[in-house]
Amino acid sequence: MKELSQLVRPNIWKLSPYSSARDEYSGHEAKVFLDANENPYNQPLNRYPDPLQHEVKALVAKTKGVREEQIFLGNGSDEAIDLCYRCFTQPGIDNVVAIEPTYGMYRVCADINDVEYRTVNLDDHFQMSAKEMLAATDKYTKLIWICSPNNPTGNLIDHDEIEKVLKGFDGIVIIDEAYSDFSGQPTFREVLDQYPNLIVLNTMSKAWGCAAIRLGMAFASKEIISIFNKVKYPYNVNNLTQEKAKELLEAPYEIDKWVRTLLLERERMIHSFQVLPICQMVYPTDANFFLAKMTDAQAIYDYLVEHGIIVRNRTRVTKCGNCLRVTIGSKSENSQLLAALRQY
Ligand X SMILES: *Cc1c(COP(=O)(O)O)cnc(C)c1O
Q: Which residues bind ligand X (CB under 6 A)?
A: 76-78, 103, 147, 151, 176, 178, 203, 205-206, 211, 216
Give how far Cα 51 sits from Cα of 116, 242, 243, Å.
Answer: 32, 10, 13
Taken in order 196, 198, 199, 201, is the CA torsion positive or negative? negative
Q: How far is the CB of 319 from ligand X (least distance, A)?
A: 17
Tell me which DSSP letter residue 327 carries: E
- Which CB atom, from 88 or from 145, has the smaller least distance to ligand X? 145
Please state the closest distance from residue 112 (CB atom) to ligand X, in A: 15
Nearest Cα to 176, choosing from 236, 98, 230? 98
Q: Is the distance from CB of 99 to CB of 128 less than 8 angstroms?
A: yes
Least separation, in Å, of the C-beta of 245 and ligand X? 12
Report the residue number, 70 or 77, with the smaller CB distance to ligand X: 77
Nearest residue to ligand X by CB is 76
Shortest distance in whole angstroms from residue 206 CB to ligand X = 6
- Return the ∠ at Cα 203 (arms to 90 and 24), rounded to 5°: 65
Instruction: Please state, as a whole number, how many other Cβ atoms lie within 10 Å of the Cβ of residue 76.
Output: 19
Q: Which residue, 4 or 126, has its beta carbon nearer to ligand X?
A: 126
Residue 316: strand, helix, or coil: coil
* Nearby residues of 68 by Cβ (< 8 Å), 6 or more positions away: 54, 57, 58, 60, 61
- Cβ closest to ligand X, residue 229 vs residue 241: 241
Cα–Cα distance, 291 to 206 (Å, whole number): 17
**Residue whose CB is less far from ligand X, 8 or 110:** 110
Toward ligand X, which CB reaches closer, 122 or 341? Answer: 122
Element (H, E) at 176: strand 172-176
Looking at beta carbons only, is 307 or 312 nearer to ligand X? 312
In sequence order, the 6+-apart residues with CB closer than 8 A to the CB of 323 are 152, 291, 292, 293, 294, 297, 314, 315, 317
What would the DSSP string read from start to end of 215-253?
-EEEE--HHHHHHHHHHS-TT-S-HHHHHHHHHHHH--H
Q: How far is the CB of 289 from ligand X (least distance, A)?
A: 9
Q: Minimal distance in Å, beta carbon 211 to ligand X?
A: 6
Minimum separation from the CB atom of position 75 to ligand X (A): 8
